[in-house]
Structure 1
């Protein structure tokens, strides 16, 4: 798809890199928004990257809308997406799959689900031809996920599974949204995973819960004192299954202010990933072993 540019009122330009999410579309958006940030164009006030698009806010009294559009198109022409290399980090997220809190919630809203007779994991495992709950957990936690955007609510990451399209977990949202979702629920809708940063309404399938805070507006959690949101676009997430005992222990350590997540720096090459997805994923996840 040719990049689509459009104005959003007098102060925004919306740029759609593709009609569907892919790592190519994500890297194209990242390349342009990174170049835009480095260009320090007068009048640009906000840059908001998304899954396969981005939004730029500008002051029309400083830079005219048509001039802003021309600047963005020039940055796109200069971007070398094919050789994209990203210096980023991998973050391990422990998950208690089939936890009692999301289970209680999904049972309360079963009449809004496609399959009221199954849990969300059972349903998703079946429609993806996975071997039950165990097969689902293996597929969900076996490969890393890209943070393609952060938003919807503060601190919530949208996650794109780093496997070929045939192996990507797909699952529709609820037929009607829930009015309740536990905080730190690990969910999924369409091709995207997410972690609910706060308690609230939602429509994604619910698979488990993490004891690891990802959003703290008070900035009291030790690893969130520099910034209230943990994730940024380009981060890589590794889900790790834990049992109830480890969940309870981790939660106690979090509440005592002693727990820190495992985070490691990594360099990700889009070209290398396309050549050898599983090998690249293994190398990326291996970085956590040194942390």
Structure 2
């Protein structure tokens, strides 16, 4: 049985729906089914539909559709929407320089805002998740795929949910107080979610490393950004690849030259197959990624 979707209004122009109290892939897939049903209806007055981790929001023009009329329409669609258990998506390999000098310099400037001022973000995350050292934590972080469940906060920033059993989820709290600075393309983590900061700016997630791969570019200079200045989309699957400083520098040079490429492969994802055998699903996804 599904949890009952809870609806509320935000001001005069927004209908908010809470699909579940906690994030899960099942909650995401249910929200995706309802939002797709709303999109297909092309309801007059509906301006935007935004899918999130375990919720969604509809922005509408109250002069064209009354709030209660929209709510009734969405509830009707919810009752008829069939939650798709399979999606056609893509798996993407993202190179990461863990424990890099730039996030290290930044986190050292903000230790007064951290739970454990005497350790780095990686050391803290390793300790509270029960790993013996930072390297073991990095192996756990990069050893499994991640599912992009929403894109937002700032342009192009993906929120990613680790594709492992619930008891194996890596979890770390956000900073006690947000930082006023985060390096561009920082790999962050807060709660059970990972992210990549698409631009430099404020932030509160623990910082683990940086990727050389641009994921937002209004100029669309790289091949994989030609279709959209925002690279990630909900439903993408990400596999992190640890790299060293030499590999990172070569990748940055390729970015500057406009020749940098990401390894991207189309893949069919089956939610039930994942829930029944997470380890087997991980292996199949990683095999698809490395098919040439």
Instruction: Work out whether 1:41 is the aligned partner of 2:43.
Output: yes
TM-align CA RMSD: 1.1
Q: TM-score when scaled to structure 1?
A: 0.97
The TM-score, its normalising length taken from structure 2, stands at 0.96
2:281 is equivalent to residue 263 of structure 1: no
Where in structure 2 are there 5+ consecutive unaligned residues? none
User: What is the Cα deviation at residue 111 of structure 1?
Assistant: 1.5
Give the match for residue 170 of structure 1.
171
Ranges of 4+ aligned residues in structure 1 off by more than 4 Å:
none
Alignment map for 1:115-126 (pairs within 5 Å): 115-126=116-127
Distance 2:286 2:71 in 1: 39
Aligned twin of 1:138 = 139
* 1:176-215, Cα deviation, whole Å (9 max, x unpaired): 1111110000000011100000001111100000000000
Superposed counterparts of 1:1-291, under 5 Å: 1-81=3-83, 84-291=85-292
Alpha-carbon offset, residue 16 of structure 1: 0.5
State the Cα distance separating 1:144 from its structure 2 match: 0.6
- Indicate the SS of the match to 2:183: coil
What secondary structure, in the 3-state scheme, does the structure 1 residue paired with 2:266 have? Answer: strand
Aligned counterparts of 1:74 and 1:86: Cα–Cα separation in 2: 24
Task: Return the alpha-carbon distance in structure 2 between the equivalents of residues 29 and 48 of structure 1.
Answer: 10
Structure 2 distance, partners of 1:226, 1:79, is 30
Counterpart secondary structure, 1:290: coil
Q: Provide the rounded CA distance (Å) in 2 between the counterparts of 1:60 and 1:111.
A: 46
C-alpha deviation, 1:43, in angstroms: 1.9
Larger deviation, residues 270-279 vs 62-71:
62-71
- For 1:137 and 1:281, the matched residues in 2 are separated by 17
Q: Which 5+ residue runs of structure 1 have no aligned equivalent?
A: none
1:42 positional shift: 2.0
